[in-house]
Structure formats: structure tokens, C-alpha cells
Amino acid sequence: MTARTQTGARAGTQANALAAGQDAIALLTADHREVKDMFEQFDELGDRAKASKEKLKEKICKALIAHTTIEEEIFYPAMRAKGEDAEDMVDEAVVEHASAKDLIKQLQEMQPDDDLYDAKVKVLGEQIDHHVQEEEKEMFPKAKKSGLDLMALGQEMALRKQELMSTL
Ligand SMILES: [Fe+2]
Ligand SMILES: [Fe+2]
């Protein structure tokens, strides 16, 4: 057992209750929907809604950092073990994450009045949308067929996500 898993396991019964019942695909798909909703909300905000934009941008960045981290730490390595095809898919996903993380980092240091603020949120949303399509149409179906213990992976990711959300 890794140090990370031990810490996760200590996160407590509350987290266990939270983790109960959601498999890896359900958890990741729910995250995808949540972040898509937030991007849509952002898009609907007017130019003068600076405080709301900033709040939402922070929430989006935090959710995406937690999501990409649990995928990279837990889900992707499990997928990688499922053959060359899966490995190529994961490689592509990791490159897409890196590009998203770069934009996230820039956005975290920006304010709504800065040049390109709206454009960067928009492009990040588009990149995530593309990435999510590939995960949901290619990687998740493959994961379902692969014989992975999706329930156990879901629990592990739920615990890790909770831990990350409390520190981000
Ligand atoms: Fe994802
Ligand atoms: Fe991803």
C-alpha cells in the first residue's frame, strides 16, 4: 500500500460513506458534467459580473485540478496496464491534461480585467470538452470491457478527491 492510499484510508468513515456505491466511470462522468455546467454558467455571465466570474473561474480550476489528479494517480495507471491500445489513449490524455494545466495555471494568476481572461476560460472549456468526449467515447467503454475493478477504483478516487478538495 502506498503512503497516499494510507492517508486516503485514514480520511474517515464520512469519506467511506461518500465513496460507497459510485464506480470509477460514474464518478468521473459526474465530474465531467459538473465542470461542463460551470463553463456554461461562466459563459452566461455578463461583462460586469466580475466577482461571479472570478469565483466561478476559481471553482473550475479547483475541480479540474482534483479531477486530472485522480485520473493521473489512479485511473490512468490502471488503464495503462490494459494493453498497448489503452496505453496510447492514456498517453494522449496525459498530453491533453498538461495543456489544460498550463492554461489553468495562467488563469489562476489572472483577474477578470486582464487581457485574454475570457478567451482563456473559453479555450480551456473547449479543450476540456474535446478531452471529455475522448474519455467518454473511447477510454471509458474500454475500461468497462477491460475487467478492471471499477468499484474499487471509484472508491479510491472518491477518497483521494475529498482529500484534494480540502487542500486545494
Ligand atoms: Fe476526465
Ligand atoms: Fe482526463
User: Cell numbers of 28, please?
Assistant: 468521473
Between the CA of 16 and the centroid of ligand 2 the distance, in Å, is 24
**Predicted local confidence at residue 3, as pLDDT:** 46
The low-confidence residues of the chain, meaning pLDDT below 50, are 1-11, 17, 19
Between the CA of 48 and the centroid of ligand 2 the distance, in Å, is 32
**Predicted local confidence at residue 71, as pLDDT:** 98
Between the CA of 104 and the centroid of ligand 1 the distance, in Å, is 15
Assess contact for 159 and 19: CB atoms under 8 A: yes
**Predicted local confidence at residue 2, as pLDDT:** 45
pTM, to two decimals: 0.88
Q: How many structural domains comprise the chain? A: 1
Q: Which domain holds residue 148?
A: 3-167
**Predicted local confidence at residue 83, as pLDDT:** 87
Ligand 2 ion: nearby residues, β-carbon < 5 Å? 71
Assess contact for 147 and 3: CB atoms under 8 A: no
Q: What angle do CA 149, 151, 154 make, to 5 degrees?
A: 110
Between the CA of 41 and the centroid of ligand 2 the distance, in Å, is 21
Using one digit for the tens of pLDDT, what is the confidence trace for 85-94?
Answer: 899 999 999 9
Between the CA of 139 and the centroid of ligand 2 the distance, in Å, is 10
Distance CA 135, CA 123 (A): 18
Return the ligand number nearest the Cα of 72.
Answer: 2
Ligand 1 ion: nearby residues, β-carbon < 5 Å? 28, 135
